[in-house]
Amino acid sequence: MSGLNGMNATSMLKLIGARNQFNHNHPKFGAFLKSVFSRQIEEGTVIELSVTRPGEEPVTTNIKVQQSDLELLEELKGLMK
């Protein structure tokens, strides 16, 4: 997947700045992602996501990673560097 290759320099700089600010605001999340992506994500891995809004019950979903998902996950991993 080469979606980032077509991104212009201004958009890329904005994305990097937003990523840096997010990492500054949420260092534990960055460390979590670094730990998770320190090893190859394999087909069959389950990724679960939960969102809890103030005063509401959590909403949770998960995916079982398929072979066709691996390229996208590698692209996302590249954004963390």
At 48-61, the pLDDT tens digits run 999 999 999 999 99
Backbone angles phi, psi at 63, to 5 degrees: -130, 150
56: left (phi over 0), alpha (psi -120 to 50) or beta: beta
Look at residues 73, 51, 74 and name the one whose alpha carbon lies nearest to residue 62: 51
Token pair listed for 78? 């590249």
Q: What is the dihedral of CA 6, 12, 37, 49, to 10 degrees?
A: -100
Cα(19)–Cα(13) distance, integer angstroms: 10
Counting the structural domains of the chain, the total is: 1
pLDDT value at residue 4: 54
- pTM for this structure? 0.65
Helix (H) or strand (E) holding 40, with range, is none
Q: Which domain holds residue 31?
A: 3-79
